[in-house]
Amino acid sequence: MPYSKLAKPAKGQTVLDPDFGTRITRITDCVSDFKNLCAAPAYPTAMAWNSDETRFILYVPGSTMQSGGQQGWAMYNGTTYAFIKFIDINPGDVEQFYWDHQDPATLYYIDNHSVGSTMHADLTAINVETGVKTVEYSFLDNLPAGWPRTGPVRCGYPFALGINSKGERIWGLGAGGIPNINGQLALNVFGFNQTTKQMVFYDTQYVAQGQARGTTPFPLLSGQGWVAPDPASQNSQTGRVFILDINGKYIRTVNFDAYEHCDTAMNAAGHDMLVGSQFNRATGGNGNVIVADLNTGAIQNLVGESSSPAFGYPTTGCLTGSTAWQNPMWIATGMTGDIYGTDNSGPTANPTTLLDQEIMLTSLTFGLTYRFAHHRSTGNYSNAPQSNYWAQTNVTLSTSGTRVLFQSDWGNGDPSNPVLNPDAAVDTYVIELPSYKRA
């Protein structure tokens, strides 16, 4: 695709991507709004929008706050994109908040805090309109004998929840207080059914009780069990995950590297899927959209070296999200790649792109990918002397899959002369896809 100039729009201004024709609206001015250098979707796997898309949440980091600035979880009107207020929550990490699937005002998170010398890790529901909080379960009070009760309690990456046919909400969690593993915070891992308040303990032949934070099992989107990354496969050419049933028992092994950016999904047949990039992997090949069917173990290369059409070796700085739980067959992917355009090593007149600097959607039903925008963010470029983490492209689908949030420092307003500035302000933009109909 051609990569043409596009000046950074003003807050509230809608522009058309000059190459793809997509509607893009800038919805924040983090410096003026919050005296901060960033306002962004928390992560592609975190549900930004609530169930009826009347609200969504952005994160404003403390690390980029200016003197007298604001920080926290900012709630917006899901239709007008107006800022409403900061929500008083304290999740285990910036991404670990979860909208209820029925009540658009209810948000869940695990509140790790201390009262005096006593630690607490409470599953908490907050009404985001009134601010009223309800503690649904206190984890540290109910851990098995012998487990430390010093916390924290955290969710497993990619921070997904599962909801089964009974409407039961399934979590994949770990409780801290044990020595680090491989330099990471270590956790005693377990599953949790929010509806029945039952803890589930995994088959220790496949999942050791103590896990590094990055290998904490996470739920299947169907709520029928869990996915456990295999730490022994991290540095091999065949990444592996173990699939566990609702009782935590081993079902099968699937060759997929869950250490890369990935997310849970579901295809039209109702099969649980993992989707994301894979690098240097013997199974499924290399690509930006590799799909593993967790019910059968089958692997598909939808955007990569062996896809049809072939897209080549995966573009770097790739993040994937499938938060459109009302339309779960759609996957959003954003890639930073080469800021100078594809196959260029420096500023180039009239650059073009193939995945670099692009955002795309992939249909798990048809296996088709639609590239539809340039995000123009340069700060998280892999070869930059300094990299701005917050400028990565957290492409986040709305609940229905009709809109996409992304953040950008707009360093590629002129792609023939990109600006690399790790201190540039990072704002959020929304893409309204053709299927989105305003009320």
Residue type, 334: G
216 within some domain: yes
9 within some domain: no
347 within some domain: yes
1 within some domain: no
Q: Give the Cα separation of 90 and 296 in Å (integer).
A: 38
Q: What is the pTM of this model?
A: 0.96
Are the C-beta atoms of 54 and 77 separated by less than 8 Å? yes
Both tokens of 186, joined, read 């270590």
140 within some domain: yes
Q: Which residues contact 145 (CB under 8 A, 6 or more apart)?
A: none
What is the per-residue pLDDT for 55?
Answer: 98
Q: What is the largest CA-CA distance in the chain?
A: 66
Are the C-beta atoms of 126 and 88 separated by less than 8 Å? yes
Count the Cβ atoms, other than its own, within 10 Å of residue 209: 15
Are the C-beta atoms of 370 and 391 separated by less than 8 Å? no
Q: Give the Cα separation of 191 and 224 in Å (integer).
A: 11
Q: Which residues contact 384 (CB under 8 A, 6 or more apart)?
A: 378, 420, 422
Residue 171 belongs to what domain range?
Answer: 14-432
CATH number for 246: 2.130.10.10
What is the per-residue pLDDT for 282?
Answer: 65
Are the C-beta atoms of 245 and 184 separated by less than 8 Å? no
Are the C-beta atoms of 161 and 219 separated by less than 8 Å? yes
CA nearest neighbour of 290 among 320, 253, 317, 270: 320
Output the tens digit of pLDDT for each of the chain's 439 residues: 999 999 999 999 999 999 999 999 999 999 999 999 999 999 999 999 999 999 999 999 999 999 999 999 999 999 999 999 999 999 999 999 999 999 999 999 999 999 998 999 999 999 999 999 999 999 999 999 999 999 899 999 888 899 998 999 999 999 999 999 988 899 999 999 999 999 999 999 999 999 999 899 999 999 999 999 999 887 677 789 999 999 999 999 999 998 889 999 999 899 999 999 998 766 678 999 999 999 999 999 999 999 989 999 999 999 999 999 999 889 999 999 999 999 999 999 999 999 999 999 999 999 999 999 999 999 999 999 899 999 999 999 999 999 999 999 999 999 999 999 999 999 999 999 999 987 6
What is the per-residue pLDDT for 45?
Answer: 95
Sheet harboring 118-127: ordered strands across? 97-99, 106-115, 118-127, 133-138
Q: Give the Cα separation of 297 and 256 in Å (integer).
A: 9
Report the number of distinct structural domains present in the chain.
1
302 within some domain: yes
Are the C-beta atoms of 15 and 21 separated by less than 8 Å? no
Q: Give the Cα separation of 335 and 406 in Å (integer).
A: 11
φ, ψ for residue 249 (rounded to 5)? -90, 145
